[in-house]
Amino acid sequence: GCSGSTEPAGSEDASAQSSASAETVGSESSGAASAAGNYPRGNGDDTLKIGFACMDMSNTFHATVAKYFEQECANRGIECMVLDDKFDGTTATENCQLICDSDCDVYVSVMGFMVGDTLSDICKEAGVLAIGMDQPIPDFPFFGADNVTAGYSAGEALAEAAIEKWGENPTIDLYIGLESLAGAEINDARMHEGMLEGIRSKVEVPDEIYVQCDVTNNDSQVAMRWVEDTINAHPEAEHILIGGFVDDSGQGAEAVIEKLGYQDKALIGTVDGSTLAINNFKNPDTAWVCSAALLPEMYGYYMLETLEPYLKGETDELPDSWNVPPVVITKDDYEQVLTDSIIYDDYQVG
C-alpha cells in the first residue's frame, strides 16, 4: 500500500516548519506579550465560555469540527457559543465582535487568513483570548491542522502509489491540481508547499504538466468538469496524478475516472479523510488511493486538552502553537488508523 501515515521524515519536517511560522507570527508582532502564556485569560468569573466561529457550517469539515467541539465542551462543562462565519470576512468580523460582546473567555476562528489583523484587534481591545484555528491570528496562539504536513504526506502517499503501480521512476504525464484558490494561504500550504512537494520528493513532476484547476467552493460537479475536460485536452497522457484540496474534488475526479475507464492511467490523492474518501476506499477498483485525514472530530479534544488547564489557572503556560496530528489513510489501513486516532466511543468509521 501507500502507507504514509507513519512516515517520520515528511511530517516532522513540515510540522517543524509550521510551528516555526506560527512562532514567528507570535514573536514578531506581540512585542510586550512575547512570553508564552502571557495571553488574556478571560473575565474572571467561574464559568468558562468559548465562542467558536465556524468557518462555514455548510461545509462538512467545518461542520464536523463544530459538532465535536460543542460535544467536547459539553463533556468538560464549558459553555460554548457557535456562530457561522459563512466563509465571509465581513461576517467573521461581525461575529468576532458579537462573541467579545457576549463575555466569552476565548474566541476561536479559522478566518485569520482573511481578516486576521482585525480579529486580533477586536479581541485585544476586548481583552479576550483569540485562538487562530488552522490559520494564525496575529499575536495570538495557533492551533489546528498542519496543512503543509497533511498535504506533504498525502503527496508522498500518492507518489508511492504511483511507483507501486507504474514501477520505479514512473514518468508522470499530467498532474491535475484540484485546488481552492479562495482558500488562499491554506491552499498554498496544503497544495503547493504540501502536496506538490510531497509528490516531487518521490517522483518527478515538471511545471509543464501541472494544470491548476480552481474548484470554486469545492464543488464536486465543477471538479468533474475540470478533470474530464483536462484529460480530454491531454489524450496522450498515460500516467496521471490528481491531487484534491478536499474530498469533494476527489469524489468528482473519481466519478470521471470511472466514466472514462481511466483506472489504470490515473491515481487520486486528497486531503480531508472524510467519509467520501472512506466510502471510495471500500471499493478495491477505485483510482482514489489516499487521503490525509485532518481529523476534524479531534479538534475540540486536542484544543481543550491544552487550553482548559490554562483558562482554569491550573497552569500559566499556553504554547504559541499546538497541532492536531494529521494521519494519512489508504485503502488498506483506513479503519485501523481512524479507530486509533479518534477517541470517541460513538465514532464509527464511514
Partner 1 sequence: MEDVKANRIKGKRFHMTSAWSTFFVWIVICAIMAVLSPYFLSVKNFLSIAQYSAITGALAVGMTIVIVGGGIDISVGSVVTLVGMVLAAIMPASGSVPLMIIAALAIGVACGLANGLLVTKLNIVPFVVTLGTMEIFKGLAFLTTRGVNTPFNNLDFAAIGRGYSFGQIPNSFIIMLCMIVVGAFLLKMTPFGKKIFAVGSNATASKLAGINIKKIKLSTYIICGICAAIAGLISTSQNSAGLTNSGDGAELNAIAGAVLGGASLAGGSGSMVGTLIGVLLLNTITNGLNLLGVSSYWQLVAQGAILVFAVIVDSFKHKS
Partner 2 sequence: MKTKPLILNKKKFEFTSTHLLLIVFAIVFVVFTVMIPDKFFTGKNFMTIAKYSSVFGLIGIGMTFIIIGGEIDLSVAYIVGLSSMVMGTMLQTIDNVVLVAAAGILVGLVCGIFNGFVITKLRLPAFVVTIGTGQMFNGFAQLINNRPQIQFSNDLFREFSKINVFGVIPLPFIILLAVAVLTWFVLKYTVFGRCVYAVGSNKPASRLAGINAAKTNAFTFAISGFLCGIASFMVTSQNGSGIAAAASGAEMDAISAAVLGGASLAGGKGSIIGTLVGVFLLRIISNGMNLMNIETYWQMVLQGSLLIAAVIMDSVKNNKDD
Q: 117 touches which of partner 2, partner 1, none (CB within 5 to 8 A by kind)?
A: partner 2
Place of cell 484540496: 245
In whole angstroms, how close is the CB of 9 to partner 2 at the nearest point?
A: 31
Q: Is 88 a binder of partner 2 (CB under 8 A)?
A: yes
> In this structure, what C-alpha cell is assigned to residue 218?
469545492
Three-state SS for 65-106 is: HHHHHHHHHHHHCCEEEEEECCCCHHHHHHHHHHHHHCCCCE
Interface with partner 2, residue 74, by CB under 8 A: no
Nearer to partner 1, 221 or 339 (CB): 221
- The whole-angstrom distance between residue 30's C-alpha and the CA centroid of its chain comes to 26
183-216 in b/e form (b: 16+ CB < 10 A) is beebbbbbbbbbbbbbbbebbebeeebbbebebe
164 binds, among partner 1, partner 2, none (CB under 5 to 8 A by kind): none
Among 39-47, 80-88, 253-261, 275-283, the segment contacting partner 2 (CB under 8 A):
80-88
Report the candidate in 290, 207, 254 with the shortest Cα–Cα distance to residue 4: 290
- 148, 21 Cβ separation under 8 angstroms: no
Q: How many residues form the binding site for partner 2 (CB under 8 A)?
A: 28
341 binds partner 1 (CB under 8 A): no
Minimum Å gap between C-beta 324 and partner 1 is 19
Can residue 93 be called a binding residue for partner 2 (CB under 8 A)? yes
309's grid cell: 488547564
Residue 86, contacted partner among partner 2, partner 1, none, CB below 5-8 A by kind: partner 2
> Per-residue DSSP letters for 114-163?
HHHHHHHHHHHHHT-EEEEESS--TTS-EEEE-HHHHHHHHHHHHHHHHH
- Based on the shown chain and the rule CB under 8 A, indicate whether residue 249 belongs to the binding site for partner 1: no
Helix then strand then coil, in percent of the chain rounded to 5, is: 50, 20, 30
| Residue 34 binding partner per list partner 2, partner 1, none, with a CB distance cut-off of 5 to 8 Å that depends on partner kind | none
**Hey, what's the cell of 147?**
496543512
**118 interacts with, out of partner 1, partner 2, none, CB within 5 to 8 A per kind:** partner 2
Burial class (CB in 10 A: 0-12, 13-18, 19+), 268: buried
263 binds, among partner 1, partner 2, none (CB under 5 to 8 A by kind): none
Position among 92, 186, 203, 211 found at the interface with partner 1 (CB under 8 A): 211
The footprint of partner 1 on residues 172-201 (CB under 8 A) is 181
By CB under 8 A, the residues from 232 to 291 that bind partner 2 are none
* 258 contacts partner 1 (rule: CB under 8 A): yes
Determine, following the binding rule CB under 8 A, whether residue 219 of this chain makes contact with partner 1: yes
In angstroms, the CA 214 to CA 222 distance is 9
Q: Which residues pair with 248 in a beta bridge?
A: none
Q: Compute how many residues bind partner 1; rule: CB under 8 A.
A: 41
Binding region for partner 1 (CB under 8 A) out of 60-68, 102-110, 130-138, 263-271: 60-68
Of the pair 23, 79, the CB lying nearest partner 2 is at 79
Burial group, residue 6, by CB count within 10 angstroms (0-12, 13-18, 19+): exposed
Please state whether beta strands 288-293 and 266-272 pair in parallel, antiparallel, or not at all (unpaired).
parallel
Beta strands in 153-218 (DSSP E): 174-179, 210-214
Choice between 33 and 182, CB closer to partner 2: 182
Q: Of partner 2, partner 1, none, which one sits near residue 24, judging by CB under 5 to 8 A according to partner kind?
A: none
- Return residues touching partner 1 (CB under 8 A): 57-60, 63-64, 67, 181, 211-214, 216-221, 224-226, 228-230, 232-233, 235, 247-248, 251-252, 255, 258-259, 274-276, 279-280, 282-283
Binding site for partner 2 (CB under 8 A): 54, 57, 81-84, 86-90, 93-95, 97-98, 101-102, 113-118, 121, 181-182, 184
